[in-house]
């Protein structure tokens, strides 16, 4: 997987076997608070047979760019809104200076506990989706402003996190007895860079290190203006083309936006924060290896799907009808089996983890519910559609798969995880794929959406004090990329 991968996390000639042997020696499997090994380094040869980690830090690899990050974080620390923010920013600076992953964990704890203030951020080498074996992270940064009204509306999700955990279909021993420190906000994104731009997530839950989640909690955000922009830019074409009938179309038009927002919230707040690993079982990056990210995203998606058809959401005032859940189920199956295939070339397998996860969940449910015709594959002429015949039974199937994926994570069952992903998440029906590409041609639909960041300019007084921030939106996408290349090419 490493030799065939197209990233630059590993030096020339480094193989998967070498990497596994390197970390088998390095990792303390008895450590109850392990670091995220390899998160911020490249793995290179330093002799003919020995490997070394080339750490990304000030004075190390990418040091010139990281020094720019440090410079700006130190300025941010001077205008922090409160002591918790300042402590987290200062610890992040220390991490970038040292590259020490213990310091990264210390920062992650401080950041997770910093929940007051108008401004927040995500910054670091965080997500490992780009690494073929899920160890090394790409850089990302998001600067965000709290949407207080929207956050207040959704606060009920975090307040009931323990209820969601207690009432999940997980095996009892895999449930957390005391869900800690889950915070949730809706935010307005001010700017994004690195792995978060120009194609951006719609929700984030961090830190990723499982022991920090269990002992200190996590922080979740829904990127409100991003979600709204995606919704407004999507247009009706894909829905009309792939929805089975007018009932499905009307459900989506009436409830699809709320369904999407709620699924994101439940995915991030409840999904990623739920469940626990059995004592003595290693971290998923070690036990489940290259399948860890796909299974984790499937697990979080399934939590959201399971609860979107629960009347508790009506009791909590989040929805007024379970038709919201039905709209979510329709969209998930439609996207997982059909619409997302626009993103890959004909003949290719699915490689991106989120896409694998969606097809895994959808295709597993279709197969397991086939005897009772829970989800029906329908042909209209030569066009393929999927019709959900029983939403309640589909919810039960989602619960069964959630329980199994949590078991796989809790027990570190690599073979079962591999079997799920390879059987249901990777291979594509080539006839259906060809049809999807042909059906979307007239729609002129881009596979991904990208965003142009505003440009912020400080207005300062005679003594250098900040008076205002002027926001400019006068660049198109190409102009912005050229502007970034001119202003921020720090890796040469």
Q: Rounded to 10 degrees, what is the CA torsion of 16, 19, 24, 28?
A: -130
What pLDDT score was predicted for residue 176?
A: 92
| pLDDT tens string 396-445 | 999 999 999 999 999 999 999 999 999 999 999 999 999 999 999 999 88
Q: What is the pLDDT of residue 180?
A: 81
Asked whether the predicted pLDDT for residue 372 surpasses 60, the reply is: yes
- The upper half-sphere exposure of residue 327, i.e. CA atoms within 13 Å in the direction of its Cβ, equals 22
Q: Mean pLDDT over residues 447-476, rounded?
A: 91
The pLDDT score that the predictor gives to residue 182 is 81
Cβ 142 vs Cβ 195: under 8 Å: no
Average pLDDT over residues 37-44: 96
- DSSP helix/strand/coil, 297: helix
- The average pLDDT across 180-188 equals 88
| pLDDT at res. 283 | 87
Per-residue model confidence (pLDDT) at position 489:
82
pTM, full prediction: 0.88
Token reading at 417:
């995880």
A 10 A CB-CB count for 316 gives: 14
Q: For 5-48, where are the alpha helices, taking DSSP H only?
A: 16-26
Residue 45 has pLDDT above 70, yes or no: yes
**Helix-strand-coil split of the chain, %, nearest 5:** 50, 15, 35
Give the Å distances, CA to CA, from 68 to 279, 287, 426.
41, 36, 40
The answer to whether 352 and 341 are in contact (CB under 8 A) is: no
d(CA 388, CA 6): 39
The pLDDT value given to residue 466: 86
**Of 464 and 452, more confident:** 452
Convert 151-173 into a string of H (helix), E (strand) and C (coil).
HHHHHHHHHCHHHHHHCCCCCHH
Please check the confidence at residue 49 and state whether its pLDDT lies above 90.
no
Instruction: Identify which of 295, 357, 312 has the alpha carbon closest to the alpha carbon of residue 332.
Output: 357
**DSSP E strands, 10-148:** 41-45, 51-55, 119-127, 138-146
Is residue 234 over pLDDT 80?
no
Closest to 491 measured CA to CA, from 8, 1, 5: 8
What mean pLDDT value characterizes the chain?
A: 94
Are 420 and 364 in contact by the 8 Å Cβ rule? The answer is: yes
Q: 240 near 308, Cβ under 8 Å?
A: no
- Per DSSP, 277 falls in state P
Q: What was the pLDDT predicted at 282?
A: 86
Interatomic CA distance for residues 185 and 478, integer angstroms: 32
C-alpha distances in Å from residue 89, one per residue of 73, 82, 102, 107, 239: 6, 11, 16, 8, 43
Nearest to 398 by CA among 168, 195, 189: 168
Scanning 193-272, the segments in alpha helix (DSSP H) are 210-216, 224-234, 237-242, 246-265
Question: Confidence class of residue 167 from pLDDT cuts 50, 70 and 90?
Answer: very high
Spatial CB neighbours of 69, under 8 Å, sequence gap ≥ 6: 96, 123
Confidence tier at 41 by pLDDT (50, 70, 90)? very high
Examine the pLDDT at 29 and tell me if it is beyond 90. Answer: no
* 337-370 residue pLDDT tens: 999 999 999 999 999 999 999 999 999 999 999 9
- The confidence score (pLDDT) of residue 127 equals 95
**How confident is the model at residue 334, as a pLDDT?**
97
| Cβ neighbours of 217 (radius 10 Å) | 20
pLDDT at 492 over 60: no
Decide the pairing of beta strands 182-194 and 218-223. Answer: parallel
Cis omega before residue 239 (within 30°)?
no
- Give 169-178 pLDDT, tens digit per residue: 999 999 999 9
pLDDT digits (tens, 9 = 90+) for 107-151: 999 999 999 999 999 999 999 999 999 999 999 999 999 999 888
Confidence of residue 487 (pLDDT cuts 50, 70, 90): confident
Tokens 């005679």 belong to residue: 462
Say how many C-beta atoms besides its own lie within 10 A of residue 34's C-beta.
19
pLDDT of residue 65: 93
d(CA 181, CA 161): 10
The Cα 269–Cα 220 span in angstroms is 6
Alpha-carbon gap, residue 192 to 144, rounded angstroms:
9
């Amino acid at each position: 997987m490493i030799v065939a991968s197209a990233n630059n996390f590993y030096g020339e000639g480094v193989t998967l076997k070498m990497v596994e042997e390197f970390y088998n020696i390095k990792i303390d499997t008895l450590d109850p608070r392990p670091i995220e090994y390899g998160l911020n380094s490249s793995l290179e040869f330093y002799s003919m047979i020995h490997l070394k980690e080339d750490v990304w830090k000030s004075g190390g690899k990418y040091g010139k760019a990281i020094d720019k990050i440090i410079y700006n974080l130190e300025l941010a620390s001077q205008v922090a809104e409160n002591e918790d923010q300042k402590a987290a920013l200062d610890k992040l600076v220390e991490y970038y200076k040292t590259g020490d992953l213990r310091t990264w964990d210390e920062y992650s704890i401080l950041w997770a506990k910093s929940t007051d203030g108008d401004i927040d951020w995500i910054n670091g080498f965080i997500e490992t989706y780009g690494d073929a074996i899920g160890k090394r992270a790409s850089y990302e940064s998001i600067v965000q402003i709290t949407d207080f009204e929207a956050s207040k509306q959704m606060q009920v999700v975090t307040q009931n996190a323990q209820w969601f955990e207690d009432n999940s279909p997980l095996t009892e021993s895999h449930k957390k007895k005391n869900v800690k420190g889950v915070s949730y906000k809706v935010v307005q994104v001010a700017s994004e860079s690195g792995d978060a731009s120009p194609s951006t997530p719609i929700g984030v839950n961090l830190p990723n290190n499982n022991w920090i989640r269990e002992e200190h909690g996590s922080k979740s955000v829904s990127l409100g203006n991003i979600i709204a922009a995606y919704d407004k830019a999507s247009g009706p074409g894909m829905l009309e083309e792939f929805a089975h009938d007018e009932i499905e179309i009307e459900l989506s038009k009436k409830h699809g936006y709320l369904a999407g927002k709620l699924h994101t919230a439940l995915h991030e707040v409840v999904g990623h924060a739920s469940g626990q690993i059995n004592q003595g079982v290693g971290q998923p990056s070690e036990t489940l290896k290259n399948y860890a990210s796909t299974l984790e995203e499937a697990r979080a998606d399934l939590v959201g799907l399971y609860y979107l058809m629960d009347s508790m959401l009506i009791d909590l005032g989040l929805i007024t009808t379970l038709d919201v859940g039905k709209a979510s189920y329709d969209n998930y199956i439609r996207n997982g089996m059909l619409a997302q295939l626009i993103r890959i070339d004909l003949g290719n397998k699915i490689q991106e983890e989120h896409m694998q996860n969606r097809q895994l969940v959808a295709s597993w449910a279709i197969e397991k519910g086939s005897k009772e015709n829970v989800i029906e594959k329908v042909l209209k002429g030569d066009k393929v559609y999927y019709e959900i015949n029983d939403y309640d039974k589909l919810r039960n199937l989602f619960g069964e798969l959630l329980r199994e994926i949590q078991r796989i994570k809790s027990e570190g069952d690599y073979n079962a995880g591999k079997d799920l992903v390879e059987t249901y998440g990777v291979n594509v029906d080539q006839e259906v794929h060809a049809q999807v590409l042909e059906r979307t041609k007239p729609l002129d639909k881009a596979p991904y959406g990208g965003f142009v960041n505003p440009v912020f300019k400080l207005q300062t007084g005679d003594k250098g004090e900040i008076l205002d921030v002027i926001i400019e939106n006068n660049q198109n996408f190409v102009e912005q990329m050229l502007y970034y290349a001119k202003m921020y090419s720090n890796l040469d």
